[in-house]
């Protein structure tokens, strides 16, 4: 027994081999936060702020109307509303180059479509399953698509859109078109394995992609702190050398400022960015969710003190706009949404032949 012990002791006395990566000086555990903090709010012009306000209000009123139509049975299946999260889509997508950049998201997608300026009529028609819908009434709430606007869904499989976003980013790189992919996912999807596979590929191949975690605090119905060991989602790219950013997703000017920093980083050929937008959905996960896992007081506190639309309204009033001007915008948007609902209710349903179209791509 003595010989093996002496051998083990001798091995223990030998100096450990130096790691091949011990002097890996390019691996810096940092984020883009410092650059973002230096200019944390976008210096929007009055015209830009009014447009942000109009767009966020359009999403809010559209989603409220969608909720009403769902209650009346005019929208079937699943329906996930974006109420409360408007500043994320508007702040980010207002900074995109619509001629070359692409967007992909999960099933809470109505707001992202509206942020592109797509006609509310064709979006509402899609929700009600009508032929005039943007996916010909066959996609419904969760599966909207527009190649014209480089919007690639609307995906029902949690986290699956992230991997597809990696593919879109690879296409931008391969085609050398100068575009980037904006890939949205939620705090619940952040625990999916395919998300990290995509992080690894994106970092390895230096893909032009911005991963955006819309952290609305509850995933489907479980608080982040109960389901995630690391709730600071912007840190999760560190193991893949992806710089992160933590952003107040209830402030459209802060989101836009973050977008400027992240997009510039990616367009400079420095690889992917992971952005965490802390936001809050006022409604349940879907229309069938009573959201009993949180109190009414909690939701009301968010509405009273953190609402993205009311926050920007306050900034506009301080900049000299009047209540009457802002009320006129709201009135016009309500009329626009009512018109979209009327259009959707009166449009014909798809013909039976549509069951056999868009099923298989026969030519590439």
The crossing angle, in degrees rounded to 10, of helices 46-71 and 323-346 is: 40
Task: Please report the beta strands in the chain, taking only residues with DSSP state E, as ranges in sequence order.
Answer: 102-104, 181-186, 209-215, 244-248, 273-278
The crossing angle, in degrees rounded to 10, of helices 323-346 and 308-318 is: 140
Mean pLDDT of 260-276: 97
pTM of the model: 0.90
Residue 138, Cβ neighbours under 10 Å: how many?
Answer: 16
When pLDDT is cut at 50, 70 and 90, the band that residue 67 belongs to is very high
Chain segment 168-177, per-residue pLDDT in tens = 999 999 999 9
Quick one: the chain helix, strand, coil %, rounded to 5?
50, 10, 45
Per-residue pLDDT at 120: 97
Joined tokens for residue 200: 């690894």
Q: Is the pLDDT at 339 greater than 90, yes or no?
A: yes
> Which residues contact residue 162 at a Cβ distance below 8 angstroms, ignoring those fewer than 6 apart?
183, 185, 189, 192, 194, 195, 198, 211
CA within 13 Å, CB half, 155: 21
10-24, 132-146, 308-322: range with lowest mean pLDDT: 10-24
Sheet holding 102-104, edge to edge: 102-104, 181-186, 209-215, 273-278, 244-248
User: What's the CA gap between 316 and 54, in Å, rounded?
Assistant: 12
User: What's the CA gap between 44 and 253, in Å, rounded?
Assistant: 7
When pLDDT is cut at 50, 70 and 90, the band that residue 7 belongs to is very low
Per-residue pLDDT at 12: 45
83-87, 254-258, 287-291, 354-358: range with lowest mean pLDDT: 354-358
When pLDDT is cut at 50, 70 and 90, the band that residue 341 belongs to is very high
What percent of the chain has pLDDT above 70? 91
Chain segment 196-241, per-residue pLDDT in tens = 999 999 999 999 999 999 999 898 988 888 989 888 999 999 999 9
Joined tokens for residue 343: 């259009």
Q: Are 117 and 148 in contact (CB under 8 A)?
A: no
Mean pLDDT of 115-131: 95
């Amino acid at each position: 027994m003595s010989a093996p012990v002496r051998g083990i002791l001798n091995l223990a006395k030998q100096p450990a081999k130096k790691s091949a990566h011990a002097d890996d000086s390019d691996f810096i555990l940092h984020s883009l936060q410092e650059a973002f903090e230096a200019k944390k709010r976008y210096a929007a012009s009055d015209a830009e702020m009014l447009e942000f306000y109009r767009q966020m209000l359009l999403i809010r009123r559209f989603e409220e109307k969608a909720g009403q139509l769902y209650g009346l049975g005019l929208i079937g299946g699943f329906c996930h509303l974006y109420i409360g999260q408007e500043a994320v889509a508007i702040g980010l997508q207002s900074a995109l180059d619509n001629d070359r950049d692409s967007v992909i998201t999960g099933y809470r997608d109505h707001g992202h479509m509206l942020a592109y300026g797509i006609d509310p009529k064709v979006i509402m028609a899609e929700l009600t399953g009508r032929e005039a819908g943007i996916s010909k009434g066959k996609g419904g709430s969760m599966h909207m698509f527009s190649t014209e606007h480089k919007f690639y869904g609307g995906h029902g499989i949690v986290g699956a859109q992230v991997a597809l976003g990696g593919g879109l980013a690879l296409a931008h790189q391969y085609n050398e078109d100068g575009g980037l992919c904006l890939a949205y996912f939620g705090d619940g999807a952040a625990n999916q394995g395919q998300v990290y596979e995509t992080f690894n590929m994106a970092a390895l191949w230096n893909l032009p992609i911005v991963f955006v975690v819309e952290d609305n605090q509850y995933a489907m119905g479980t608080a982040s702190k109960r389901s995630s060991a690391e709730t600071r989602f912007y840190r999760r790219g560190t193991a893949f050398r992806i710089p992160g950013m933590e952003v107040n997703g209830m402030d459209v000017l802060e989101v836009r400022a973050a977008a400027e920093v992240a997009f510039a980083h990616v367009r400079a050929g420095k690889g992917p960015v992971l952005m965490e937008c802390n936001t809050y959905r006022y409604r349940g996960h879907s229309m069938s969710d009573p959201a009993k896992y949180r109190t009414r007081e909690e939701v009301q506190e968010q509405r009273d003190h953190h609402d993205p639309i009311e926050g920007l309204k306050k900034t506009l009033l301080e900049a000299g706009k009047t209540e009457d001007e802002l009320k006129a915008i709201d009135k016009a948007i309500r009329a626009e949404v009512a018109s979209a609902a009327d259009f959707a209710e009166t449009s014909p349903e798809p013909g039976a032949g549509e069951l056999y179209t868009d099923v298989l791509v026969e030519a590439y």
